[in-house]
């Protein structure tokens, strides 16, 4: 089973078949948002009282340590760590914009891109270099 970890505290944010985030919407309302650990599956679960709209910017937070998960690549992308069964870690970046489907997974060498909106982020930083792809 793949684990998902917070890059700040290394806390486990995958529990069972969901990755758990605390999010804040445009109205500064806070709630829990559950995403699929399957990359490319953009279904999400939330309580119906928490309203979000397509195109809205959500701030993602670690539910364990409360750190903001915004990446240093782009303010629209959140950053989490994926650890596979062998203990190998890669960085996963995904869009914080509601309804925008773009996910990037990188082991520092290559970037695996998923989602039909991924072309919006054509410069990708790996290590300390910027690499263009597409």
Residue number, 10 or 36, with CB nearest to Zn ion: 10
- Count residues near Zn ion (CB under 5 A): 8
With contacts defined by CB under 5 A, name the span among 16-24, 29-37, 55-63, 121-129 that binds Zn ion: 55-63
Exposure class string for 82-105: b at 16+ Cβ within 10 A, else e: bbeeeeeebbbbbbbbbebebbbb
Tokens (6 digits) for 88: 């190998």
Q: Is 118 helix (H, G, I), strand (E, B) or coil?
A: helix
> From the list 2, 3, 8, 34, which residue makes contact with Zn ion (rule: CB under 5 A)?
8
Is residue 6 at the binding interface for Zn ion, with CB under 5 A as the rule?
Answer: yes
With contacts defined by CB under 5 A, name the span among 2-10, 21-29, 34-42, 120-128 that binds Zn ion: 2-10
> From the list 31, 32, 64, 113, which residue makes contact with Zn ion (rule: CB under 5 A)?
64
105: nearest Cα among 46, 45, 37:
37
Is residue 65 at the binding interface for Zn ion, with CB under 5 A as the rule?
Answer: yes
Residue number, 93 or 121, with CB nearest to Zn ion: 93
> What are the residues whose beta carbons fall under 8 Å from the beta carbon of 33, sequence distance 6 or more?
20, 21, 22, 23, 44, 45, 46, 50, 58, 60
Is residue 81 at the binding interface for Zn ion, with CB under 5 A as the rule?
Answer: no
In the complex, the residues that contact Zn ion under the rule CB under 5 A are: 6, 8-9, 11, 62, 64-65, 67
């Amino acid at each position: 089973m793949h684990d998902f970890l917070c890059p700040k505290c290394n806390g486990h944010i995958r529990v069972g078949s969901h990755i758990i985030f605390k999010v804040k919407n445009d109205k500064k309302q806070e709630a829990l948002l559950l995403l699929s650990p399957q990359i490319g599956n953009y279904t999400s679960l939330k309580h119906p009282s928490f309203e979000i709209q397509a195109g809205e910017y959500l701030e993602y937070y670690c539910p364990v340590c409360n750190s903001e998960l915004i990446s240093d690549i782009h303010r629209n992308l959140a950053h989490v760590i994926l650890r596979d069964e062998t203990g190998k870690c890669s960085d996963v970046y995904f869009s914080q914009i509601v309804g925008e489907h773009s996910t990037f997974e990188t082991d520092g060498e290559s970037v695996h891109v998923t989602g039909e909106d991924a072309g919006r982020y054509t410069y990708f930083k790996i290590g300390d270099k910027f690499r263009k792809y597409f």
